Structure 1
Amino acid sequence: MIPVDLISITIPLLIFAFFVLTNIFKILKEYERGVVFTLGRVGRKASGPGLIILIPMLQQLRKVDMRTLVADVPPQDVISRDNVSVNVNAVIYYRVIDAVRAVVQVENYQEATSQLAQTTLRSVLGKHDLDEMLQERDQLNKDIQHILDEQTEAWGIKVANVEIKRVDVDSSMIRAIARQAEAERERRAKVILAEGELQAADKLREAADVLASSPSSMQLRYLNTLQEIASDKTNTIVFPFSPEDIAKMLGR
């Protein structure tokens, strides 16, 4: 039988040993890095992955996830350059490239990146018209990504991509946009029709110049016209000859 005094001593020793071991040995996964603080000071490089040995009470470890993170930017009310109110939301993809700076330079890099994305989204889109927001979304994504990447570089963050998900417009503005689109289609149709008539007029003028320069070509054209008229069973046929041509045919 184990003495009571031995049990009372052994249990605290086991608890203390477990506490010491769990604080000495840390295991970091392949996608994790550890920022080690020694008496409050941090080293130049992060540790890991694998087994990390710490000095209890003197060293502390902060784990940092190095995988690509996805942040959903909440819907933002934006006033476009042409004074149209729209509601826009987006998603950003970023990752930590320097774990030390991500821990030391900013209190919470995830929250800081999200807040910066919201303000940048409003700032960039507010400089563009509604048509540009709807038609040039790829370019806007690149502009926002470039600005975010420059701002977060000091935090050890790399913004890989930004995607604008939705651009919601008020229902009254949707009707106005539909009327504008219809007017634009009518304008283009009229322009195309006018260009077609202009091209046809140019071709007719060229044909007239060719016929005028060659009397025999004019005669052949007359005969072709007579053939077309005869195929329609017309009773009266008018010969488009000038008085001089009639005089020549009569031998006068």
Structure 2
Amino acid sequence: MLGGVGLLLCLGGLFFIGLMYIFSAIRVIPEYERGVIFRLGRLVGARGPGLFFVWPPIERMIRIDTRVLTMDVPAQEIITLDNVTIKVNAVLYFMVIDPNKAVVNVMDYVRATMQIAQTTVRSVMGKVELDTILADRARLNSEIQQIIDEQTEPWGVKVTIVEVKDVELPQQMQRAMARQAEAEREKRAKIIHAEGEFQASKQLANAADIIANEPVTLQLRYLQTLTEIATEKNSTILFPFPIDIVRPFLGMLGTSEEMELRKAAMQQTSAARQPQRQPAQIPPAQAVPPTQIPPAQAVRPTQPTQPPYTQPQSTQQLQTPGQPQQRPEGGQPPRQ
């Protein structure tokens, strides 16, 4: 009796252990994962998705996620081709397309992919100038993606997208680029303004031709201008007087050439009516023989002579009536 009970207990225990072993061997893999099976250290292959058995300790399974993974490439300083130091960070999108290679060929495919992404970004950005990095970023992203994908292909990893997120410039470079952008905007504004003036001048020239061919258009414009002036509240109003209004009256007088011809004809007619005067004949001048001037003779200087001394007369000399008295030389007048 006791032997039968012990046997039943042993069979029950073995059955329970067998059930536990079977339940422990059951593996359920979702759609986005694969299980790489190793049996006694040898690669059996990838299984999944779904339900299958892994018999421990003979077999071992490693789960691999086949969804797209996102990884940030940390910022790093890079010297460009034109010797400008910048900081660049990027984002990387990749996925495992071959779980067997991702397990067998590389120890940690995530860390290995991140390291290769950093070195590739540094090498590609260092071969181009700063202007190319800022202007042609899409081409650089594609080039980096192709290089990383070629290097991670032996690992069973597919790099789908590489995007440069931010390019940090030095402060001096930012100020210089701001000044350059401002100058470029001013240049474009001046070009647009010049093109507008050129087109406006063309339109004005066309309008002037139309007005010149149609004088009525100018008169209508004149009346329109007067209407606009009348609507404004101004104390002083200047009325423009177009020359086309008086042009018919000028046409009656004739053109300037006709007026000059008329003036010349009138001068000729008045000159013909006046009697012709013969100019006075002036006899020709006769030649006058030159006169001979005798040479000048030297004049000797004369020596002054003193008059003889005469004594004053004591008696009064008789004088004729109407004759003034004579004063003796060197004396006083005679007393009366």
Q: Which category describes the TM-score, using the shorter chain as reference length?
A: 0.7 to 0.9
Deviation at 1:237, TM superposition (A): 4.6
The match for 1:240 is: 243
SS at match of 1:201: helix
Matched, 1:116 2:116: yes
Question: Which structure carries more strand by proportion?
Answer: 1
Matches within 5 A, 1:73-152: 73-134=73-134, 136-138=136-138, 140-152=140-152
Deviation at 1:110, TM superposition (A): 1.3
2: CA distance, partners of 1:236 / 1:207: 22
SS at match of 1:46: strand
Residue identity matched to 1:83:
N
**Equivalent pair of 1:222/1:240 in contact (CA under 8 Å):** no
Matches within 5 A, 1:6-45: 25=25, 27=27, 29-30=29-30, 31-43=32-44, 45=45
Matches within 5 A, 1:167-186: 167-186=167-186
Structure of larger gyration radius: 2
What CA deviation, in whole Å up to 9, does each residue of 1:72-117 have, x standing for no partner? 2111222334432210111212221210011223332112211121
Question: Which structure carries more helix by proportion?
Answer: 1
Shift of the 28–91 alpha-carbon distance from structure 1 to 2, 3 Å rule, reads farther
Q: Higher relative CO (CA 8 A, sep ≥ 6), structure 1 or 2?
A: 1
The match for 1:211 is: 211
1: CA distance, partners of 2:210 / 2:106: 81
The match for 1:46 is: 46
SS at match of 2:183: helix
Q: Once structures 1 and 2 are overlaid, which stretch shifts more, 100-109 or 33-42?
A: 33-42
SS at match of 1:110: helix
The match for 1:8 is: none
TM-score where L is the length of structure 2: 0.57
1: CA distance, partners of 2:26 / 2:208: 94
Deviation at 1:219, TM superposition (A): 4.0
Residue identity matched to 2:153:
E
> What's the C-alpha RMSD, in Å, of the aligned pairs?
3.6
Q: Once structures 1 and 2 are overlaid, which stretch shifts more, 214-223 or 62-71?
A: 214-223
SS at match of 2:186: helix
Q: Kindly report structure 1 stretches of 4+ aligned residues shifted beyond 6 Å.
A: 249-252
The match for 1:56 is: 57
Deviation at 1:130, TM superposition (A): 3.3
Deviation at 1:203, TM superposition (A): 0.8
Deviation at 1:190, TM superposition (A): 1.0
Identity of aligned residues (%): 49
SS at match of 1:162: strand
2: CA distance, partners of 1:206 / 1:73: 63
Shift of the 246–95 alpha-carbon distance from structure 1 to 2, 3 Å rule, reads same
Deviation at 1:161, TM superposition (A): 2.7
The match for 1:166 is: 166
**Equivalent pair of 1:28/1:34 in contact (CA under 8 Å):** no
Residue identity matched to 1:103:
V
**Equivalent pair of 2:117/2:148 in contact (CA under 8 Å):** yes
Shift of the 26–153 alpha-carbon distance from structure 1 to 2, 3 Å rule, reads farther
Shift of the 247–38 alpha-carbon distance from structure 1 to 2, 3 Å rule, reads same
Residue identity matched to 1:234:
I
SS at match of 2:57: coil
The match for 1:14 is: none
SS at match of 1:234: coil
SS at match of 1:112: helix
Q: Which runs of 5+ in 1 are unaligned?
A: 1-16
